[in-house]
Amino acid sequence: MFKKVFEYAGPHKKDLYIATFIVLLSVLMGVLPFVLAYQVISPLVMGNAVDTKYVCIRVIGVLICLILQAILYGWGLDVSHKAAYSTLLRLRTSLQKRFEAVPLGFIQDKGTGTIKKLFVDDVDSLEVLLAHSLPEGIANLMIPIAIYVAMFFIDWKLALLSLASIPISFAAMMIMYSVGMKKMGPYYMAVVKVFNKDAESYERFRKDISDYRDYTLEWYKAAWPWMAIYSSLLPCTIILTLPLGAWFVLCGFSTLPDLILVLCLSLSIGIPLLKSLSFLPTMPQLNYKIAALEQVLETAPLQQTDAVFHGKNYDICFDHITFGYEKSQPGPDGQPMVTMDEVIHDISFTAKAGQKTALVGESGSGKSTLLHMLGGLDTPTSGSVILSDKDLYSMKEDQLAVFRRRKIGFVFQAFNLVSSINVWENIVLPLGLDGKKVDKAYVNDIITTLGLEHRIYNLPNQLSGGQQQRVAIAR
């Protein structure tokens, strides 16, 4: 269950163990006051004399246990959070190394939004699971199990009665999930902003929000009663122990001190039991979520060698190029089978320097993919892209990056302007990356030619589609 967690935790794995142990001690400190209460209640009920000193010692013991419970809980979560953030750092670093090795075309297809979500939102979502579910889930489960074992040694009949709340609560929980899933169903909310139609766009937005509110309220009305029964009954571990246990004592099947002790112990594990069952369902998600993060960047790494580009002319030759996407599908035996979905099949042609070459074909026929391979954004499954007798994919990634920056001009369909910098900064960005001095007169001449002279301080989102395209051309 925790294989991938410990793989990325590395040296911080021991901190997760330590955090779990500290939280376990904290939960134990919450149980001990009930044992001390039993030591006071039992002799009083049995008619034995109890002096003030005896009671005061146990009252002080209860206070000490409660203080230690709070201190240990805070300490344990402090250790678990440090271990969690260190683990997430190692996970991000590992994903970064994968990210650096994949072709740029793969990143282009995924989109910057997906990549940002991967490194920020998706990784951050693991923090709660690592820092809370792991130490608190395990600790709050182990103590109730130990208490139940102890109760079976005290009186197995009373111990069985104390377990009654669990199946009853689980039945309510299963009904809650069943009703909730029926009410949930497929729900989709889409809002499209249409230029010059603000009233219509915002009316659709208002309607979608209202529909979502009504949908949520309907779900809660259906699921909440069962949720309330589940959360109320689960910690109520004496629901059968008190009435039937009293009858057992009257019939001589059990002793009164044993009943009092089992009642005290049953009351002590109600909250830990509720916490453990709220955390435990989330724990299997750890491995699944980490595997899902790795899957996002699952592709063949960019092919590269130590060779350096020494081309002298710019004839472009596509030599028996084949390109496909890997996809997973069930095999004959039901196990996942990786197949290749080819989109380009054994293409060969030469684009001569000084001539205009057009790639013509229907949508999805592979025109953009061929251009991606010319710029080193995608790696062909087989074949070579040759520029002046040199295979582009025989270069290392950093050498290929320099080649792209200096020799290839890209105008992407999505433009790919940097949203946080203005028009001028977007245009001169490649020069800065290449360490070259900006020729302001030359750049201004390009800007004027493209009719962007009044837009140089605007951000990309302040431009029309055509203006963004011209900025991409200038760049």
**pLDDT tens per residue across span 187-236:** 544 544 444 555 565 677 777 778 778 777 877 777 778 777 777 777 77
Residue 223 near residue 175 (C-beta atoms within 8 A): no
More confident residue, 298 or 417: 417
Instruction: Give the pLDDT band of residue 310 (cuts 50, 70, 90).
Output: low
Instruction: Give the pLDDT band of residue 74 (cuts 50, 70, 90).
Output: very high
What average pLDDT does this structure show over 51-76?
Answer: 92
Which of the given ranges, 175-184, 278-287, 337-346, has the highest pLDDT on average? 337-346
Q: What pTM did the predictor assign?
A: 0.61
Region for residue 462 given its phi and psi (left: phi exceeds 0; alpha: psi -120 to 50; beta: otherwise)? alpha
Which pLDDT score, from 0 to 100, does residue 343 have? 82
CA 394 → CA 305, 384, 389, distances in Å? 5, 9, 12
Q: Look up residue 186 and give its two tokens.
A: 């497929």
Which pLDDT score, from 0 to 100, does residue 316 have? 83
User: Which one, of 394, 302, 324, 387, lies nearest residue 353 by Cα?
Assistant: 387
- Mean pLDDT for all residues in the chain: 80
Region for residue 417 given its phi and psi (left: phi exceeds 0; alpha: psi -120 to 50; beta: otherwise)? beta
Q: Look up residue 212 and give its two tokens.
A: 């979502």
Burial state string for 46-63 with b = 16 or more CB within 10 A and e = fewer than 16: eeeeeeeeeeeebeebbe
Q: Considering only 194-203, 246-255, 320-329, which range has the smallest mean pLDDT?
A: 194-203
Q: Regarding beta strands 336-351 and 316-330, do their DSSP bridges make them parallel or antiparallel, or are they unpaired?
A: antiparallel
Indicate the angle between helix axes 465-474 and 423-433, nearest 10 degrees. Answer: 30
Handedness of CA 371, 377, 379, 385 (dihedral sign): positive
Q: Regarding beta strands 316-330 and 390-391, do their DSSP bridges make them parallel or antiparallel, or are they unpaired?
A: unpaired
What average pLDDT does this structure show over 356-363?
Answer: 84
What does the longest C-alpha to C-alpha distance in the chain come to?
Answer: 109
In the chain, the amino acid numbered 343 is V
pLDDT, tens digit, 9 for 90 and up, residues 133-161 = 888 888 888 998 899 899 989 988 888 88
Q: Look up residue 12 and give its two tokens.
A: 């911080």
Whether pLDDT at 341 is above 70? yes
Residue 150 near residue 28 (C-beta atoms within 8 A): no
HEC profile of 402-435: HHHHHHCCCCCCCCCCCCCCCHHHHHHHHHHHCC
Q: In what order do the strands lie in the sheet with 382-387?
A: 336-351, 316-330, 382-387, 390-391
E strands within 155-306? none
More confident residue, 33 or 197: 33
User: Which one, of 163, 160, 164, 165, lies nearest residue 234 by Cα?
Assistant: 165
94: Cβ contacts below 8 Å, ≥ 6 apart:
8
d(CA 433, CA 431): 5
Which pLDDT score, from 0 to 100, does residue 34 have? 92
d(CA 220, CA 218): 5
Which of the given ranges, 187-191, 309-313, 405-409, has the highest pLDDT on average? 405-409
What average pLDDT does this structure show over 393-400?
Answer: 76
